[in-house]
Structure 1
Amino acid sequence: MRIRRRGAAVLVALISVLACAPTDEPPPRSAAGRHTGAPGIGDPDFPQDGNGGYDVAHYSLTVDYTPATKRLTGLTKIRAKATQDLSSFNLDLTGLDVAKVSVDGSPARFSRKDGELTVTPAARLDAGSPFTAEISYSGSPTPAKDTANLGTYGFIPTADGAFVASEPNGSKTWFPSNDHPADKATFDFTVTVPAGLTVVANGEQSASPSTAGGRTTYRWSERHPMATYLATATIGKFEVRQGRSPGGIPTYAAVDPKFKTGLDRVYNVSGEITDYWSTVFGAYPFSSTGAIVDDYSAGYALENQTKPLYGGFDPDEGIIAHELAHQWFGDSLTIKRWKDLWLNEGFATYAEWLWSEHRGKKTADTIFKDFYNRGAKDPMWSYPPGRAKPGDLFNESVYTRGGMALHALRKAVGDPTFFKLLKTWTAEHRYGNVTTRQFVDLSERLSGKDLDPLFDAWLFQPRRPTLA
């Protein structure tokens, strides 16, 4: 994500419910309560995000949305595997009314409290067993807000559709899920909207749009693992261009008519940058690339997997380079805990500097020195980027000082080792989850150097590091 303020930046497939209405309180724990899945995945900074006791393999989202009424109806089907015996489990969902829930085809009890949808199957799920849950729901989505530095995110209604950008935990505003980056899954999207509107989601269209009764249905599929916050189904009036990058990667660009004069540029630059990053970071991890430019003044861009989303502005090359670098750093390689966010944002920020260098503009070293010369009292130095703060997740330090840490590493190990490191990092953890410790260990293994002091100074100390 590229924050442009303050310096940074359905799953209700209706598993039929019992005849009884849902209650406001979770079901009684009884003797089986010890087999209840945890209401959080275990991230201490976001204790209610994600859920324990199961691992999701696939989401199938069926959504019908009408912009004029802001009414959404959804059916989400989830394929998952229990990682413990489960008498009940939770899903993340805010707002929206749940009508039915089923597990493995049988009606399940459910309750709602504080953004948690607690599901109690008719029979206990055994550890290691696969299961399918279906949730039916409806209502008017209410986007989430981050007053610190992000603003509004999640499913955001617009005049002609919806702007869907869910980082860090906004997916729960439009479908039930295990809403934390530690649990990645594949996705299918079936989205129906009034005829004349376009739906752009992750991956590729699995079928041509079909229109009946004044409504059009779009089908998209992302067959590579994806964090929930990267899922989008952005809706509106769009000018579209499709084709392939010069390197042969399928490319899809959609822009609001307000930005139609920039369509060809966004399409061409996105393909060119994707091709270039493939030579720097390793093979492109997905089956297509692209961009969405919507007429919604979000104040930020988001690296939605395969479809970076730009909110209310025509992006320049630096921002496109940033969001497309995230396809490797953040999307293919996804953090296990939000505290390691610099692994996403520091890398994407440094990619901007590498793109500038590639284009014959400022070198990464010049940009590094410009930031370093701000002075020791600059607020950036008091915020160690290796430990992103939950109340200030997208602080500029996570971006800029994170990028500076990578340049300091590059200078310490030399270009051959540094660029080998980038490709090895993306190859060894392709489609997986990563931590800062893993990156430090790999850096030391490839360089043969003790790099703990360097990483400590740049990532974990609340002061400006001393240059060697």
Structure 2
Amino acid sequence: MRRLLVATLATALTLAGGALPAQAAPTPGGAGLGDDYFPDYGNSGYDVSHYDVRLRYYPGEDRLTGTTTILAAATQDLSSFHLDFVLDVASVKVNNRPATFTREGDHELVVTPPRAVTQGQTMTVVVQYSGVPSNKVAAGYTAWTRTADGALAVGQPEIAWWWFPSNDHPSDKATFDVSVAVPDGVEVLSNGVMPRNPTQDILGWKRWSWRSLHPQATYLAFLAIGQYEITRDTTAGGQQVINAYSELLPQDFEDAAKASVERTAEVVDWGSSIFGPYPFEAQGGVVGPPGALGFALETQTRSVYSSGFFRSGANMSVVVHENAHQWFGDSVSVERWKEIWLNEGFASYAEWLWSEEQGEGTTQEIFDYLYATQPADFWTIAPGDPGAAEIFSGAVYDRGAMTLHQLRLAIGDDDFFELLRTWAAEHKDGDANTAEFIALAEKVSGQQLDELFQDWLYTPSKPAVEGVSALARKAAPKAPKSWAKIQQNHEMLHAH
């Protein structure tokens, strides 16, 4: 019937002396989303809604085989499109038809489907692949970490390339199913809930399955594979709380790690009282083997910690930092990497708030100490636009937190905490930018705040403050009790 209608319309136009309008030919999707700092990260032309990642991992060889199924919708008429990926690809299918594929650059897989995908059309992309991730180098390094008993896929801003093909940019979030088969006796941790207990197959392998029910940025998806002790609990609201500790941890590290990470549910409850309802379906943490990582990362629902955070005892500050990210960075993600202070400044300020709650130093004391003691080069980095090489600079964390403290002083506690809750609620499961935060701050407070944000976020020099306290005026003020732990955390967090 549709063909008949088109033919009839064409005949009528011809008889009337007219012609059918010419249709534009499908065009390739872009190799990148034009991010200010990482222009070739992510890809244009489509939007992903779900990843199904099904893997088999051989720890002795560090070899991975897998099939990832991507559900997406075209945002233009596509003749081809890009995926970010570095492993060896055996085949690609688009809507059940074999597609051709080529390599471009160090992390681009260019897929050409046998038929163009029209704007608005859904597409199912199935990629089969294999490889040794620790042997693959892209962006100048290997993000995959091989350990003595397995591997860690944890990193920022790049990690997905080494274990699943993706549209790798935080502005394109999706839900996930991750399923990994490993030899019996090996454990696998990932994001979200465990919908069923690990299942045994006839070959002596066990398959672990994880499901993320809320949209998630690709860099926040993680794997921890190896020998882990897993603890499980359920919150009063019925959420799974799953923590895991490498069995390679020395006893003193293990004790300190458990004394910290096992309090995750307490920290989440505290955060909920300040930032609004916890945005996800599960919670917990993973502590990797000694020496495997030099940082912690706020992997969605279940943060991953270097064991080094616990070398001198329990460390609640880092647990607070990573769990504050569940609101600021995970649920509300950055539109572009230049906006990263919206992640790190907020999580750092949460550490200050926890310090005040625990009676180990007020937010004002911490601000004053930082203001008095930071070296001159600290102030030359503007956290609102630090540059690609400085996205993990101390200024992004600490001056970002100082910006929030100055905002709090300017608008008052009632408006400040209403602002944080409103920001988390309005952008839940989405992404946002600094301009939107400033606009919301001005709306909530009824004040014009451009000068404050210009001074603290965008000026590469030390801002002046009114009424500086006696502590801030001292040449060598005494640090609040909490500062040593916060400083240790930030030295490690900056390292990644």
Cα separation, 2, equivalents of 1:51 and 1:374: 43
| Counterpart position of 2:159 | 170
Moved more, 131-140 or 247-256: 247-256
Cα separation, 1, equivalents of 2:142 and 2:365: 34
Moved more, 37-46 or 340-349: 37-46
Instruction: Give the superposition deviation at 1:146.
Output: 8.1
Pick aligned residue for 1:39 from 31, 39, 42: 31
Moved more, 441-450 or 256-265: 256-265
Specify the SS of the correspondent of 1:284: coil
| Counterpart position of 1:157 | 146
Residue identity in the other structure for 2:346: F
Structure with bigger helix share is 2
Residue identity in the other structure for 1:206: P
Pick aligned residue for 1:304 from 281, 285, 299: 299
Residue identity in the other structure for 2:371: Y
| Counterpart position of 2:84 | 92
Specify the SS of the correspondent of 1:206: coil
| Counterpart position of 1:261 | 255
Deviations 1:202-246 (A, max 9, x none): 001122101221211001000100000000121111111111346
Deviations 1:146-179 (A, max 9, x none): 89xxxx7732111111112121022111111001
Cα separation, 2, equivalents of 1:38 and 1:93: 15
TM-score by length of 1: 0.89
| Counterpart position of 2:181 | 192
5+ residue gaps in structure 1?
Answer: 1-30
Residue identity in the other structure for 2:84: D
Instruction: Give the superposition deviation at 1:138.
Output: 0.4
Pick aligned residue for 2:193 from 199, 204, 225: 204
Query: Is 1:330 matched up with 2:337?
Result: no
Cα separation, 2, equivalents of 1:248 and 1:421: 28
Deviations 1:354-409 (A, max 9, x none): 0101111101110001000026x521100000003112221110000000000000
Instruction: Indicate the percent of aligned positions where both proteins have the same amino acid.
Output: 44
- Assess if the C-alpha contact under 8 Å between 1:280 and 1:423 holds in 2: yes
Specify the SS of the correspondent of 2:326: coil
| Counterpart position of 2:242 | 252
| Counterpart position of 1:19 | none
Instruction: Give the superposition deviation at 1:267.
Output: 4.3
Instruction: Give the superposition deviation at 1:134.
Output: 0.4
Cα separation, 1, equivalents of 2:191 and 2:299: 7
Cα separation, 1, equivalents of 2:118 and 2:58: 40
Aligned positions of 1:211-290 closer than 5 A = 211-212=200-201, 213-245=203-235, 249-257=239-247, 258=249, 259-262=253-256, 264-290=258-284
Residue identity in the other structure for 1:99: A
Instruction: Give the superposition deviation at 1:32.
Output: 8.6
Instruction: Give the superposition deviation at 1:144.
Output: 6.1
**C-alpha root-mean-square deviation of aligned residues, in Å?**
1.8
Deviations 1:6-54 (A, max 9, x none): xxxxxxxxxxxxxxxxxxxxxxxxx998610000012131111000000
Cα separation, 1, equivalents of 2:407 and 2:113: 51
Taking a change above 3 Å as real, the CA distance of residues 33 and 72 of structure 1, as seen in their structure-2 partners, is farther
Moved more, 287-296 or 307-316: 307-316
| Counterpart position of 1:432 | 430
Specify the SS of the correspondent of 1:204: coil
Instruction: Give the superposition deviation at 1:85.
Output: 0.3
Deviations 1:34-78 (A, max 9, x none): 610000012131111000000000000011111110111011000
- Assess if the C-alpha contact under 8 Å between 1:65 and 1:191 holds in 2: yes
Larger radius of gyration: 2
Residue correspondences, number: 432
Residue identity in the other structure for 1:434: A
Specify the SS of the correspondent of 2:224: strand
Cα separation, 2, equivalents of 1:161 and 1:286: 28
Taking a change above 3 Å as real, the CA distance of residues 34 and 390 of structure 1, as seen in their structure-2 partners, is farther
- Assess if the C-alpha contact under 8 Å between 1:165 and 1:232 holds in 2: yes
Cα separation, 2, equivalents of 1:336 and 1:455: 19
Specify the SS of the correspondent of 1:301: coil
Cα separation, 2, equivalents of 1:206 and 1:197: 19
Higher relative contact order (CA 8 A, sep 6+): 1
Cα separation, 2, equivalents of 1:34 and 1:127: 9
Cα separation, 2, equivalents of 1:321 and 1:173: 29
Specify the SS of the correspondent of 1:122: coil
| Counterpart position of 1:59 | 51
Deviations 1:118-139 (A, max 9, x none): 0001100000111100000101
Residue identity in the other structure for 2:364: D
TM-score by length of 2: 0.84
Query: Is 1:381 matched up with 2:379?
Result: yes
Query: Is 1:364 matched up with 2:359?
Result: no
Query: Is 1:458 matched up with 2:447?
Result: no
